[in-house]
Each structure stands twice: as structure tokens, then as C-alpha cells.
Structure 1
Amino acid sequence: MTTQTVGTAAGDARITWHRARKARLVLAVSHGAGGGIEARDLQALARTLPGHGVTVALVEQPWRVAGKRLAPAPGTLDTGWRGLWPALTEPGLPVVSGGRSAGARVACRTAGELGAHAVLALSFPLHPPGRPERSRAGELLGAGVPALVVQGGNDPFGKPEEFPEGDFELVEVPGGDHGFAVPKRAHLTQEQALEVICDRVAAWTGTLR
């Protein structure tokens, strides 16, 4: 594991690299608006995917590196992501652009212009809680590259059945909330929920050519 600081027009960002020995892809994933790269799903992917030939780059947006508590406007998030992109492509491998929640929106909005190989959207915030009329489906549908959405079955920002049909794959984590936490009485444990995420993402990355 190595850490790299990258200057962007939005401030300094940080990449924590989890490298595969024989990598064929880079999966770059950023955090949401209310947390960091310590999120359970991001950490699980960083532990698991290098064993499948995928280098994982956990990205901290400039506002997090600066110690701020609130995320800036979407345009500023996109600026930070654009500024990071040359460092993510430096290994010379195809880059899957990804993130959780707000980070997933950034990945979708910028995938085409940056030449992302594919998009991984973890807990895509399809709409604000209780406001399904304020859909953000257009961002996902407009990614323009192969996309995988991993969504908790009880995510208040959009349950799997609320997603429109489109050119993307969708995986449900049964009982999972926006952070993929599952109730204690769920039919699968928290560890099993993370295994669902890692297994499906590993299988999906294996289909990317």
C-alpha cells in the first residue's frame, strides 16, 4: 500500500494504492459526501480485488484531504476528479472509474470525457430520500461506458426496483442500506454482504476487455 498526493485545481487530493502483482486494470473509487475511504465497501474491495488482477486506487477528494466536513458543489467534485485522472492512468492500464454515493455520480458524469474503461457505481444516489421525483438517473444512463451498479435493497436513496432500464448491470445487496449495513436479523451477515459486493465486482471486472 502506497499513498500519493496529487495537486488539482480544487486542491490537493490523495490516492491510496492497493496494487495487484500482475494488474490488468485499475479500479479508482472515491468516497461519498458524508464519509471517506474508510467505508466498509471500499476497504473490502481494496483487500479483495488485487488478488484478481485489479489494482485498487482509493481516492480522497480535496475537501476531505483539507479536513472539511461538508462536500463542495458537484462541479468542484468533478474538477478534483479530472485533476486526479493523469495519476490514475499513469500505470498505463485501463481505468475503471468508480465511487460510492456522490463519488458514483462524479464517475458517471465524467466517464466519457476522461475515457474511462467502465464505471462502478456503489450506492448510486438515484434520488434524495423521500423525493423520487428528483431523479438522477440521467447521470447513470449518460455514462456511455459499461457500468455496474451495486445497490442495497433498503437504500433510501433508491432501491434496486426503482432504477430504470438501461445499459448497465445492477446487483442487489439484500437488506443493505446506503452504507451496505444489514440488519442483525437479516438472512446474511455483514461479512456475507461484503462478500456479495466483492464477488460480483470481481466477476464483472473479469468480463471487461
Structure 2
Amino acid sequence: MTEFDGPGPDQEIATPRGPAWIRVADPAGPAVSVLVVGHGAGGGVDAPDILALRDAATPSGVRVVLATQPYRVAGRKAPAPAAQLDEAWTAIVGHLGVRDRPLIVGGRSSGARVACRTATALGAAGVLCLAFPLHPPGRPEKSRAGELPDDVPTLVLNGDRDPFGVPSPGPRREVAVRPGATHDLRKDVKGTAELAVAWLRRHGWAT
């Protein structure tokens, strides 16, 4: 499949789990990388931290694709099971046909988990996590640290007041803790987005 080039409003993508939506924001010049971003469990791609990331990355040469999972397109708040989320996400990213430039996958909260679980299989160059939910609130023994990839460069941006916890750094994992921010990362969204773009630049994925 050829790489998707259509800017504009949400466009429908067929997946094995029903229709998904993508919204593409292109840089003014050639894109040096493609960043695909998924949403949180009960939210959408219009979350403030996702929009701030898009607005900071696009002028830096990054094509940003915001992806809405089929269950949200269908109007449901409760997320689909993990395997179904991963299957739909894999279909969305596969539709984009990114082959000639680096692919970075990411998302906020549940979307970050999906990106982490599928990054290696999708051949992603990097993973960008907004508010990775390390464990359910008050349940640190239910750690999801095993979902974080060990073989792909990863940036995790979490608030220091996040009740879902904050992952630890690893050999290929950077963790930036945002002071005063909770799980929604609404405090200083611009600063959070700038940290993300700086990380992209360090890897040569942004200008």
C-alpha cells in the first residue's frame, strides 16, 4: 500500500475491529518522520497534550497522524480488550504504509500501552508515551512495566502527581517527570510537547 498523503479532516480506515479514524497534519516541507498517536481509554485525540504535541512536532518536520480507535468511532467509552486495540492499531499503522522514513508510534495512557505493545512488530524506530499508566491507582502490585519495550528507544512523559505511577528509566528508555502534573498532563502542555520534540530531534526524527 502506498504511503497515505491526505491532509484534512478525519478520514475513515477499515480495520478488523470496525472503522477507525485518522487525522493527518503535515509539515510545510518534506516530512522527516511519521508520528502516529493514539488516545486514552475514554478520551479522544483532541486531548490537550496530544494537540500540543501535534502543534509542536509538525513545524519541526514531523508528519503527525492522530488515530481514533474503532470503539470510540462507534461512540463507546469503555475500551475494547487489549488484543482488539492492538489489532486495530496495527491495521491503522499498516494502512499508512510508512517505509521511506522513520516511524514513531505513541499515545496517551491506554494509547501509550498499545503503542508499546506493538512497536517492535510494527518496526517502529521509537515510542513516545504520554502519561503511561504504570499501574491502576492504588495498586502498584499490578505493574504494567512489562509492556514497555526494551529494544526500541522510548520516551515517557508522566506527571509527578500521576496516581497511575511513573515508570523507571531503562537502557533505551528516557523518563521525563513533569512537576505538578497529574495523569491528564494539562499542566504546561506546551513544555511537555517541547520535551517530546527535543527527544525527536536528538534521534534525527525532527528538524
TM-score norm. by structure 2 comes to: 0.89
Correspondence 1:185-196 to 2 at 5 A: 193-196=188-191
- Provide the alpha-carbon RMSD of the alignment: 1.5
TM-score by length of 1: 0.89
Matched, 1:152 2:132: no
Shift in Å, 1:135: 0.5
**Greater alpha carbon shift after TM alignment, 119-128 vs 194-203:** 194-203
The yes-or-no answer on 1:169 pairing with 2:174 is yes
| Aligned ranges 1:99-178 → 2 under 5 Å | 99-140=107-148, 142-159=149-166, 163=168, 165-178=170-183
Residue type of the partner of 1:138? G
Report the alpha carbon displacement of residue 91 of structure 1 after superposing the two structures with TM. 7.3
Map Cα deviations across residues 80-133 of structure 1 (whole Å, 9 max, x no partner): 111111223347422100010011011110111110110001100000000001
Q: SS of 2:194's equivalent?
A: helix
Shift of the 143–39 alpha-carbon distance from structure 1 to 2, 3 Å rule, reads farther
**Unaligned ranges ≥5, structure 2:** 1-6
* C-alpha distance in structure 2 between counterparts of 1:108 and 1:90, whole Å: 18
CA distance in 2, matches of 1:61, 1:20: 24
From the two aligned structures, give the one with the greater helix fraction: 1
Which runs of 5 or more structure 1 residues have no equivalent in the other structure?
183-192
CA separation in 1, counterparts of 2:168 and 2:99? 34
The percent of aligned pairs where both chains have the same amino acid is 43
Instruction: Answer yes or no: is 1:54 the counterpart of 2:49.
Output: no
Q: Does 1:80 align with 2:88?
A: yes
Preserved contact between residue 150 and residue 173 of structure 2 (Cα < 8 Å):
no
